Amino acid sequence: MSTAISVMQPARGGNEHIQEVIVAAERELQQLLQTRSETMKRIGTIKQTLLCLAKVFGDEILTPEIRQLLGHGSTRKQPGFTRACRAILMEARGPLEARQGSRELRRRFPELVERHKDPVASVTTVFNRLVGYAEVRSFHNHKGRRVWQWIAEPEPGLTADIAPLIAQKAEPQAIDSIRH
């Protein structure tokens, strides 16, 4: 997402004040965009942590509000395609190609995939839209293929803080299912 701003200067003189306002506004916009990016990464980390806890201890440990925010609530009879794509990326072990995302959607949400003439194209469109929302990053893998990955903070953060708790409370096979 480009954050460059181009402003044409007025033809009349005496525009120093206008230029000061423009420079200040540009600076603030850049700062807000950076803050938004950092916030989205933190949200991604927290969502992944909550999903991890729900996998180990069951969805019932989460409040209905949190389940709804994670796309696990019963707010709709059929979850939306974008929400399903978010869930697929959030729960993926690594970056996904569009075909892999489409296969996972077909496995988990077959009724959603049936409504799309070209599921891979639909997944690609939604994944790219999520990049625009700063929820997902896109890059080329070692094979040169485009992949998408849920954005989370690079440092362990909250997930590292709860790992000992999970180890104490969960059965070993449940922890292995999260790691693999």
User: Buried (b) or exposed (e) across 92-122, using 16+ Cβ within 10 A?
Assistant: beebbbbebbbbbbeeebeebbeeeeebbeb
pLDDT for 147 equals 97
Say if residue 39's pLDDT is above 50: yes
What would the pLDDT profile of 72-128 be if each residue is shown by its tens digit?
Answer: 655 444 458 998 999 899 889 899 999 999 999 999 999 989 989 999 999 999 999
Give the pLDDT band of residue 21 (cuts 50, 70, 90). very high
Rg for the chain, CA atoms, rounded: 21
* Residue where the block lists tokens 């925010």: 69
pTM of this prediction?
0.53
Angle at alpha carbon of residue 103, lines to 98 and 107, rounded to 5°: 145
Least confident span in 4-13, 19-28, 80-89, 125-134: 4-13
Q: Which residues pair with 149 in a beta bridge?
A: 137
How many Å apart are CA 157 and CA 41, to the nearest integer? 11
User: Buried (b) or exposed (e) across 49-68, using 16+ Cβ within 10 A?
Assistant: bbbbbbbbeeeeebeeebbe
DSSP state letters, 84-103: HHHHHHHH-SS-B-HHHHHH
The separation between the first and the last C-alpha atoms of the chain, rounded to the nearest angstrom, is 32
Q: Where are the domains of the chain?
A: 41-179
> Any idea which fold 41-179 has?
Arc Repressor Mutant, subunit A (1.10.10)
Widest Cα–Cα separation across the chain: 74
